[in-house]
Amino acid sequence: MEPEEIAALLALPEGEKLAFAREKSRLDDIAETLVSFANAQGGELLLGVSGRARAKAEGLADVVAARELLLEAALACTPPLILPLPRLVRHGEAALLLASVPAGLSQVYSLHGKYLRREGGTNQPLAPDALRRLLVERGDVSWERGAPGGAIADELDPHKVNAYARRVGPEAESDPMAFLLRRGCVVRGLGVGGWGVDAQPLAPNSQPLTPTNAGLLLFARSVEERYPQAEITLVHYRGRDMGDVFEREDVRDTLPEAVRRAERWLMEHMRKGSRMVGLERQDWTQFPPGAVREALVNAVAHRDYSVRGEGVRIGLFADRLECYSPGRLPGHVTLENIVAERFSRNESLVQVLADLGLIERLGYGIDRMLRQMDDADLPPPQFRETAAGFLVTLHGQPTEGLGPEGLDTREWARQGLNERQIAALIFLAAQRRITNRDLQELHPDVSAETIRRDLVDLVDRGMLLRVGEKRATYYIMK
């Protein structure tokens, strides 16, 4: 955060979404505030500040100990709160820590059996009727926090866990397994510990740790064994409708790697091109890459993994991208309020993907998708609930002038290519090479000499390369 943003926070009194705490605050006092934010609309806690109505930045004498206090307070909640790492900020010479509790969490939280909610600038006990409403609204069971039957720590890949810990930094590297516990990826006391003989223990502990569903989806040696539904099916259709000709890829991997692989595949298969605007070349893609990434990552992070039998499905067409994820909208989110409301079905998955830089923790992916489509002068995304899932549709660059293979032929026409030459380029896009006979078969009423001149012209324009001599001659894209 910028210094002026911190100054603006300190100028405010404590409220429904803002609290201050001194460095020597009791762990339970910190935890009560975190629980109160979590059961309301989220909020921010600034540690190292005294005063309620008029804040004073006292600063932190021991930042490491203060960070540990915040992390332990989150872990003391029931269930443990999965939060972004506290951020070190400064106000003048004073070092402060900012802890953020996201809005739209999917569970109800307590501390030592007390259910609290933020009201005004104080933490207040939840009345029985209010607690009942909150339990009904949010639900009380989290699939991702459960540990599947027979799960053991050896199912986690220590190399993946260590790579994640290095990405997070010192807070995780010092004890990766303890950090996974804070992230809801392992739980204590169930199953059998151990890492197997081929890897060094990441964090020895006298009490065994068992991976949760979230931990296995993120770090398992093999995801497919337990979660065949955790796959991404990618299909590229050449035209605007489903047809018999398509390319398909089924991605089965831990969620971070599956997202990376699916994103690479989509970037490789999207239509791309360049157009001349004046004397400058402008590159374009079928869809804004950022919007495609948001649609993909949101589908993976927020889907309902308790639904077995189907995975995330992404269809890439000549004019649009359709991204389907199993499970209808969670909690209180509807099609009408989807832009403004926040609700995280899979808090642990979302936070780890955020730690890895693959998703925005606070849930502003839809906002960014809308903005990126608007910046590209494209229609806003379309959202639709189906009988058992959720569908996002992105409409891409206009398809007027597209050939049957989904290629943009408008620039070729503007460059003066005739219909036979455009047909040759479309043929090349699908078949990788073309001969005089191939083009002659596409245009049987045209003379062989005209066909020859068409291909020679494409070579002279620098668009094709001629390979071979006489009857063995064929052409490829330059």
Mean pLDDT of 343-359: 88
Q: Is the pLDDT of residue 402 over 60?
A: no
79 cis-preceded (ω within 30 degrees of 0): yes
Q: Is the pLDDT of residue 408 over 70?
A: no
Using DSSP, how many helices (H) and how many strands (E) does the chain show? 16, 20
Q: Is the pLDDT of residue 289 over 60?
A: yes
Q: CATH 1.10.10.10 occupies which residues in the chain?
A: 410-477
Q: Is residue 253 a contact partner of residue 222, using CB atoms and an 8 Å limit?
A: no
Q: Is the pLDDT of residue 165 over 70?
A: yes
Q: Is the pLDDT of residue 287 over 90?
A: yes
For the chain, give the percent of residues with pLDDT over 90.
58
pLDDT value at position 207? 65
Q: Answer with the residue of higher pLDDT: 193 or 447.
A: 447
For 40-54, 426-440, 454-468, which range has the lowest pLDDT when averaged over its residues? 426-440
Q: CATH 3.30.565.60 occupies which residues in the chain?
A: 231-395
**CA dihedral for 380, 385, 386, 390, sign (positive or negative):** positive
pLDDT value at position 399? 61
User: 410-477 has which CATH code?
Assistant: 1.10.10.10
Spatial distance between the Cα atoms of 299 and 326, rounded to a whole number of angstroms: 8
Q: CATH 3.30.950.30 occupies which residues in the chain?
A: 3-128
Spatial distance between the Cα atoms of 250 and 17, rounded to a whole number of angstroms: 43
pLDDT value at position 366? 85
How high does pLDDT run on average in the chain? 87
pLDDT value at position 406? 46
Q: Which two tokens stand for residue 90?
A: 């400064």
Pick the CATH number of 231-395 from 3.30.1330.60, 3.30.565.60, 3.30.420.340, 3.40.47.10: 3.30.565.60
**CA dihedral for 378, 383, 384, 389, sign (positive or negative):** positive
User: pLDDT tens digits for 265-283?
Assistant: 999 898 876 555 544 556 7
Of 231, 156, 148, 215, nearest to 180 (Cα)? 215
Please name the helix (run of DSSP H) or strand (run of DSSP E) that holds residue 100, with its range, or none: strand 94-101
User: pLDDT tens digits for 244-255?
Assistant: 878 999 999 999
Which homologous superfamily does the CATH classification assign to the domain defined by 3-128? Schlafen, AAA domain (3.30.950.30)
